[in-house]
């Protein structure tokens, strides 16, 4: 009884999505679409993908009832989908495995990728090591500073990390450089895009690979409770962990979907990354989507304490889900995320990624407004090891001022 069939054959979700790329890339983008369609229907490809998710990434990940956090929030039950327990510490590995297998299938031996927090870069470097692919990662200079440990990890895994100094020197600029690199090396290189953004078919491919999150959640929750949860909460950078969680529930109208953007220093300041809340539709990196931009269509810099949410756009499918009202989008400030980071650490013994802490912060607020017989599942997209230095520095600064 499937009625939600987007994207259409042109890669559009309503007005959003599409393939707004230089002509040089069209061949590669069409090739990828063809290869993916074949792989999707190929049982051998699917079983190899499953095998690596299980044996290498460590799936399935647990669905954990956060009893202490539930008690603290004082309302609905809060469950955590533990993507932080994946190999390499975040959901990013799901997509990296899938796309790297596709690259091998297409006969491409080189991988280029962008990274913000470094989590996608680490996941990409990891699967490149596993599958013996050359790997080059573009990363903003600012992010290299914020995530030094992940840079070392990528190098240890055999990847070459290239510092990007143009523009705001963060994720958006790393995507620009990765695209430029791809334009020049398209014959033998696959661009392993890290989120549900970019030209079609990327938003569809990444969603499909990440939808294992929502599929498992559905099965696990049903097994435990005999029904579906009332609400799902996930943070939004480009939108991959959230769409992976939401997608298997899109046609379940009773399940409310909450995507949480980074409000940085506040959505009424210029320092946030709340593209859906404060942006307008526009075209960047190959897709029509909600973007932070000025009135002349110049893209603005996004700001968030968490490098993984520091992106001025949000994937076309989320843009569409917002437009049709199927999902709700809210935002959480740096300060609220920092508090949730500590809260989850103290109450549950789980140190979340700063990105995921945004979802936790919102879930606590939401739970308080819901009843004790209702259930929320939070996508805990990653673990916080990569962030402890930054949080420590921030808290020490906070204490001084």
Partner 1 sequence: MNRIEQTFQLLTKTGRKAFVPYLMAGDGGLDCLADRLTLLEKFGASAIEVGVPFSDPVADGSAIQMAGIRALKNGTTLRGIIKKIAEARKQIHVPIILMTYLNPVYAYGIDAFIFDIQEAGIDGCIIPDLPMEEEDIIAPKLHEVNIEFIRLATPTTPLDRIKQIAGKGRGFLYTVTVKGITGERSEFAHDLYAFLKQVKEVSSIPVLAGFGISNQEQIAEIVEYCDGVVVGSKIVDLFASSRLRELEQLVSIFHSKSNPF
Count CB-CB contacts under 10 A for residue 307.
30
* % helix, strand, coil for the chain, step of 5: 50, 20, 30
Q: Which does 283 bind (CB under 5 to 8 A by kind): partner 1, ligand PLP, none?
A: partner 1
Q: Which does 236 bind (CB under 5 to 8 A by kind): ligand PLP, partner 1, none?
A: ligand PLP
Residue span 298-337 as binding mask against partner 1, x where in contact by CB under 8 A, dash where not: xx--------------------------------------
Q: Is 220 left (phi over 0), alpha (psi -120 to 50) or beta?
A: alpha
CB of 30 to partner 1, least distance (A): 9
For position 277 contacting ligand PLP by CB under 6 A, the verdict is: no
Between CA 70 and CA 68 the distance in angstroms is 5
* The one among 201, 203, 214, 238 contacting ligand PLP by CB under 6 A: 238
Q: Which value, to the nearest 10 degrees, does the dihedral of the CA atoms of residues 105, 211, 284, 162 take?
A: -60
Q: Is 266 left (phi over 0), alpha (psi -120 to 50) or beta?
A: left
For position 397 contacting partner 1 by CB under 8 A, the verdict is: no
Between CA 166 and CA 279 the distance in angstroms is 22
- Whether residue 92 lies in the annotated active site: yes
- Whether residue 114 lies in the annotated active site: yes
Between CA 263 and CA 157 the distance in angstroms is 33
Between CA 118 and CA 288 the distance in angstroms is 25
**Looking at the DSSP assignment, which residues form a beta bridge with residue 256?**
231
Residue span 180-199 as binding mask against partner 1, x where in contact by CB under 8 A, dash where not: x--xxxxx------------
User: Which residues within the stretch 159-218 sit at the binding site for ligand PLP (CB under 6 A)?
Assistant: 195
* The one among 198, 201, 203, 308 contacting ligand PLP by CB under 6 A: 308
User: Which residues within the stretch 160-179 sit at the binding site for partner 1 (CB under 8 A)?
Assistant: 166-167, 172-173, 176, 179
- Whether residue 381 lies in the annotated active site: yes
* The one among 128, 150, 241, 300 contacting ligand PLP by CB under 6 A: 241
> In this structure, are residues 343 and 72 in contact, taking their beta carbons and an 8 Å threshold?
yes
For position 81 contacting partner 1 by CB under 8 A, the verdict is: no
Cα 319–Cα 322–Cα 328 angle in degrees, nearest 5: 130
Query: Which of 20/72 has CB closer to partner 1?
Result: 20
Tell how strand 63-65 and strand 77-82 pair up: antiparallel
Q: Which does 299 bind (CB under 5 to 8 A by kind): ligand PLP, partner 1, none?
A: partner 1
What does the binding site for ligand PLP look like in residue numbers (CB under 6 A)? Answer: 90, 116-117, 119-120, 195, 235-242, 308-309, 353, 355-356, 381-382
Question: Which sequence positions are flagged as catalytic?
Answer: 92, 114, 381
């Amino acid at each position: 009884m499937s009625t939600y069939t987007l994207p259409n054959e042109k890669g559009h979700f309503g007005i959003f999505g599409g393939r707004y790329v230089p002509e040089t890339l069209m061949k590669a983008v069409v090739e990828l679409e063809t290869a993916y369609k074949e792989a999707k229907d190929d049982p051998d490809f699917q079983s190899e993908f499953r095998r690596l998710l299980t044996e290498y990434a460590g799936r399935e990940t647990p669905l954990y009832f956060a009893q202490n956090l539930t008690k603290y929030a004082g309302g609905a039950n809060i469950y955590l989908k533990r993507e932080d327990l994946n190999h390499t510490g975040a959901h990013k590995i799901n997509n990296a495995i899938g796309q790297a297998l596709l690259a091998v299938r297409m006969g491409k031996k080189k991988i280029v990728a962008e990274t913000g927090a470094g989590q996608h870069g680490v996941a990409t470097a990891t699967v490149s090591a596993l599958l013996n692919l050359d790997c080059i990662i573009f990363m903003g200079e600012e992010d290299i500073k914020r995530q030094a440990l992940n840079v070392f990890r990528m190098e240890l895994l055999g990847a070459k990390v290239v510092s990007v100094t143009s523009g705001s020197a963060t994720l958006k600029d790393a995507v620009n450089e990765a695209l430029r690199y791809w334009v020049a090396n398209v014959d033998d290189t696959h661009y392993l895009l890290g989120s549900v953004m970019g030209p079609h078919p990327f938003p569809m491919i990444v969603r499909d690979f990440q939808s294992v999150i929502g599929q498992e959640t559905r099965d696990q929750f049903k097994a435990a409770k005999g029904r579906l949860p009332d609400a799902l909460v996930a943070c939004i950078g480009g939108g991959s962990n959230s769409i992976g969680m939401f997608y298997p529930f899109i046609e379940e109208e009773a399940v409310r979907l909450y995507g949480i953007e980074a409000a940085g220093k506040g959505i009424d300041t210029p320092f946030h990354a709340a593209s859906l809340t404060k942006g307008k539709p526009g075209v960047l990196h190959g897709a029509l989507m909600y973007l932070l931009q000025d009135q002349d269509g110049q893209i603005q810099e996004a700001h968030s304490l968490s490098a993984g949410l520091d992106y001025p756009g949000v994937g076309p499918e989320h843009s569409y889900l917002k437009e049709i009202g199927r999902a709700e989008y809210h935002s959480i400030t740096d300060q609220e995320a920092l508090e949730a980071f500590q809260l989850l650490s103290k109450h549950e013994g789980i140190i979340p990624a700063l990105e995921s802490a945004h979802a936790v912060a919102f879930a606590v607020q939401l739970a308080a407004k819901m009843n004790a017989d209702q259930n929320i599942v939070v996508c805990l997209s990653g673990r916080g090891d990569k962030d402890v230095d930054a949080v420590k520095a921030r808290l020490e600064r906070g204490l001084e001022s």
